[in-house]
């Protein structure tokens, strides 16, 4: 099934859900105002579902909106998004019976920054991006260039293990042809792992000196659902509101511990960062640590207790010094 067929199927299913009163809202994607973008569509209107799209640019993890809406919600979910929904169910933030998951088998999402890097042009100057089989054709001023699709997918997509939704009510298609390139997916992390402690410290000092503490990384993250974040506490005040690099680093260290066992490597925090700080080098590393130590992957089973709320007598504890 191609994107157009999936899109038609989605529109029909979404319309039926609204008409039959099975959901109050549909959350999906519609074309964005900029080229090669989509934007979240949240609607109660059955005619608006004709604006729903499926494309290699449906980047947002829409589960972020589930905790903000009341009522029954039909939501479009890629593999990583469906795991975020399950994680929210595990944490009692969302009731399973209140969501109808419209699962989309995913083949990966195109990273426009990588496209810009390959053709040396800003996205506004690119005329067309066409993905066919394992190739992507990029047209700039009438000049067509072909690349392997693996060169333009987001790093997290190249390392994706579950591109077909794990939990769904309606599956829009059955299979996905995901390009896996684990080496590229982990490249930035491995570069950091190869550094000495001092080099790593200097690296993060430099990176977090650029952080403007806009909190986009937190606000876009479905695993960050606290009503009041620790950074906004004034009694006690855990950190200064001014973006000193030390506090910025502390913010991310604590945020990573809070999302441990909840993060599905959807990549949204890094994508949303206006300062291009490589946040996935922290979040993905935390996913891998959680998996290595506790054999736990976030959002795989709604009946399983959240990682941080239970323990096994066999859990490793040799990291506690
Ligand atoms: S991480 Fe997997 S499911 Fe999520 S967008 Fe990338 S390929 Fe799709
Ligand atoms: S999105 Fe980037 S700049 Fe904003 S708070 Fe997060 S790390 Fe800092
Ligand atoms: S920490 Fe980042 S990658 Fe993980 S779930 Fe949140 S937004 Fe997605």
Residue 30's nearest CA partner among 16, 21, 15, 41 is 41
**Ligand nearest to the backbone CA of 80:** 1
Which one has a higher pLDDT value, 241 or 290? 290
User: CA 299, CA 61: separation in Å to the nearest integer?
Assistant: 14
**Ligand nearest to the backbone CA of 264:** 3
**Contacts for 125-134: CB closer than 8 Å, 24+ residues apart:** 126/35, 126/36, 129/36, 129/56, 131/56, 134/179
Ligand 2 binding pocket mutation candidate from 245, 259, 277 (most atoms within 8 A of CB): 277
Q: What is the pLDDT of residue 172?
A: 95
Residue 277 Cβ contacting ligand 2 at under 6 Å: yes
The domain defined by 112-152 carries CATH number 2.60.40? no
Q: What is the pLDDT of residue 321?
A: 64
Nearest atom within ligand 1 for CA of residue 79: 3
Asked if residue 314 has pLDDT above 90, the reply is no
What is the domain partition of the chain in residue ranges? 3-111+153-309, 112-152
How many whole angstroms from 187 Cα to the centroid of ligand 1? Answer: 18
Region 143-166: mean pLDDT is: 96
Is residue 284 within 8 Å of residue 265, measured between CB atoms?
yes
Which one has a higher pLDDT value, 131 or 313? 131
Region 29-46: mean pLDDT is: 97
Asked if residue 197 has pLDDT above 70, the reply is yes
Asked if residue 1 has pLDDT above 70, the reply is no
Rounded percentage of the chain residues whose pLDDT exceeds 90: 86
Asked if residue 206 has pLDDT above 80, the reply is yes
Pairing of strands 73-77, 25-31: parallel
Residue 221 Cβ contacting ligand 3 at under 6 Å: yes
Residue 266 Cβ contacting ligand 3 at under 6 Å: yes
Give the pLDDT confidence of 253-265 residue by residue, as tens digits.
Answer: 999 999 999 999 9
pLDDT band of residue 67 (cuts 50, 70, 90) is: very high
Average pLDDT, the chain: 94
How many whole angstroms from 46 Cα to the centroid of ligand 3? Answer: 31
User: CA 277, CA 257: separation in Å to the nearest integer?
Assistant: 18
Q: N- to C-terminal Cα distance for the chain?
A: 53
How many whole angstroms from 208 Cα to the centroid of ligand 1? Answer: 27
Alpha helices in the chain (DSSP H): 3-19, 79-90, 112-119, 155-158, 182-185, 187-193, 197-208, 216-219, 245-259, 268-272, 280-294
Nearest atom within ligand 1 for CA of residue 153: 6
Q: What is the pLDDT of residue 63?
A: 98
Rounded percentage of the chain residues whose pLDDT exceeds 70: 98
Beta bridge partners of 42: 27
pLDDT band of residue 174 (cuts 50, 70, 90) is: confident
Is residue 73 within 8 Å of residue 23, measured between CB atoms?
yes
Q: What is the pLDDT of residue 11?
A: 97
How many whole angstroms from 80 Cα to the centroid of ligand 1? Answer: 5
Q: What is the pLDDT of residue 233?
A: 83
| Contacts (Cβ under 8 Å, ≥6 apart) of 162 | 79, 80, 83, 300
Ligand 2: residue whose CA is nearest its atom 3: 211
Ligand 1 binding pocket mutation candidate from 29, 60, 78 (most atoms within 8 A of CB): 78
Give the pLDDT confidence of 87-124 residue by residue, as tens digits.
Answer: 999 999 999 999 999 999 999 999 999 999 999 999 99
Residue 157 Cβ contacting ligand 1 at under 6 Å: yes
| Degrees to nearest 5, angle at CA 203 with 255 and 123 | 80
Residue 106's nearest CA partner among 37, 165, 29, 27 is 165
Asked if residue 318 has pLDDT above 80, the reply is no
Asked if residue 316 has pLDDT above 70, the reply is yes
Asked if residue 320 has pLDDT above 80, the reply is no
User: CA 180, CA 155: separation in Å to the nearest integer?
Assistant: 10
Give the pLDDT confidence of 277-306 residue by residue, as tens digits.
Answer: 999 999 999 999 999 999 999 999 999 999
Beta bridge partners of 100: 74
């Amino acid at each position: 099934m191609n994107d157009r067929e999936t899109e038609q199927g989605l529109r029909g299913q979404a319309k039926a859900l609204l008409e039959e009163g099975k959901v109050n809202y549909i959350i999906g994607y519609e074309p964005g105002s900029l080229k090669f973008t989509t934007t979240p569509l949240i609607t109660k209107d059955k005619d608006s579902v004709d604006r729903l799209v499926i494309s290699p640019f449906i980047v947002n993890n829409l589960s972020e909106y589930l905790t903000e809406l009341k009522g029954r919600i039909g939501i479009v979910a890629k593999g990583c998004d469906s795991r975020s929904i399950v994680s929210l169910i595990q944490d009692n933030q969302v009731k399973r019976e209140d969501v109808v998951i419209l699962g989309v088998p995913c083949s990966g999402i195109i990273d426009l920054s990588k496209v810009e890097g390959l053709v040396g042009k800003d996205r506004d100057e690119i005329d067309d991006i066409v993905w066919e089989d394992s190739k992507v054709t990029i047209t700039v001023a009438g000049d067509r260039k072909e690349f392997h699709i693996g060169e333009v997918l987001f790093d997290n997509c190249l390392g994706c293990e579950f591109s077909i939704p794990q939990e769904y009510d309606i599956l829009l298609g059955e299979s996905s042809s995901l390009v896996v390139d684990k080496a590229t997916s982990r490249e930035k992390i491995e570069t950091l792992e190869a550094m000495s402690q001092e080099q790593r410290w200097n690296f993060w000092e430099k990176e977090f000196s650029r952080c403007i503490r806009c909190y986009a990384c937190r606000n876009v993250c479905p695993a960050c659902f606290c009503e009041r974040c620790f950074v906004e506490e004034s009694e006690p005040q855990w950190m200064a509101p001014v973006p000193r690099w030390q506090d910025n680093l502390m913010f991310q260290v604590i945020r990573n511990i809070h999302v441990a066992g909840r993060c599905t490597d959807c990549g949204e925090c890094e994508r949303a960062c206006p300062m291009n700080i490589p946040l996935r080098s922290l979040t993905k590393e935390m996913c891998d640590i959680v998996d290595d130590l506790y054999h736990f992957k976030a959002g795989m089973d709604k009946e399983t207790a959240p990682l941080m709320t239970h323990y096994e007598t066999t859990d490793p504890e040799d990291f506690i010094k």
